[in-house]
Each structure stands twice: as C-alpha cells, then as structure tokens.
Amino acid sequence: AQTVTQSQPEMSVQEAETVTLSCTYDTSESDYYLFWYKQPPSRQMILVIRQEAYKQQNATENRFSVNFQKAAKSFSLKISDSQLGDAAMYFCASQTQGGSEKLVFGKGTKLTVNP
C-alpha cells in the first residue's frame, strides 16, 4: 500500500520569497510517480509538477521545483519568487503504474502568501 505524509499543516511566505513544502511517502512499488497538486479556495485541483521515480533529475516547472530523494522517500516542493496567486492548499500525491492508477494524497499544506 502507498502512503503519503505531509507534516506541515500550514506554511506562510512573504511575496517574492522562497518556500519549501515537505512530503514523505512510502511504497513497495518500483515504478511510480509523485506529484504536487494545488487546490485554490473554492477552485478545482490542478497539477503543479510531476516526478517520475526512475528519473534522477529533479523536475522543474517555471518557479516550481522538487527535491526528490528516492532513498529517503522524500519529495519536497520549492516555490521561488512566491506570488499572491500561489496561496492555496498543496497536496503531495503518489501513483503507481498499472491497475487503477489511483492517486494517493497526503493531508495537504495550506500555503499563505503575505504581501
């Protein structure tokens, strides 16, 4: 079974600063994906960034990057140059290939961006 743990219920950052959200996971599978999803208030969940477990290089998407530590089963999200629009719930999730390919989510981190 897969599990995903986010130990930071809330984080805050000043506009234009950098913030890192933490996530650890556990899986017995060798072929899996990890994700960060963003859920703004009263809006739908959108994918921020994806990491394939077989890739050693950390994924980046503009101001968003991850630090994937496979041996430690750690997957953190770094948001650079934070903007007011980054304020949202952020969920870490895992997915294995084959079968249902359902997403397994952590409990989320609420990010506040202060002007």
Instruction: Select 11 or 45, whichever has its Cβ closest to other proteins.
Output: 45
Q: Please give the residues from 57 up to 86 whose contact with other proteins meets the rule CB under 8 A.
A: none
Instruction: List the one residue out of 104, 75, 70, 73 whose CA is nearest residue 2.
Output: 104
Q: Note whether 102 binds other proteins by CB under 8 A.
A: yes
Nearest 10 degrees: CA dihedral of 91, 94, 99, 102? -10
Stretch touching other proteins by CB under 8 A, among 13-21, 42-50, 64-72, 73-81? 42-50
Nearest 10 degrees: CA dihedral of 25, 27, 29, 33? -20
What is the smallest separation between the CB atom of 17 and other proteins, expressed in angstroms? 26
Instruction: Select 82 or 109, whichever has its Cβ closest to other proteins.
Output: 109
Instruction: Select 34 or 113, whichever has its Cβ closest to other proteins.
Output: 34
Q: What is the 3-state secondary structure (H, E, C) of 57-87?
A: CCCEECCEEEEEECCCCEEEEEECCCCHHHC
> Strand, coil or helix: what is 103?
coil
Instruction: Select 49 or 113, whichever has its Cβ closest to other proteins.
Output: 49
Positions touching other proteins (CB under 8 A) are 4, 6, 33, 43-47, 50, 52, 91, 93, 97-108
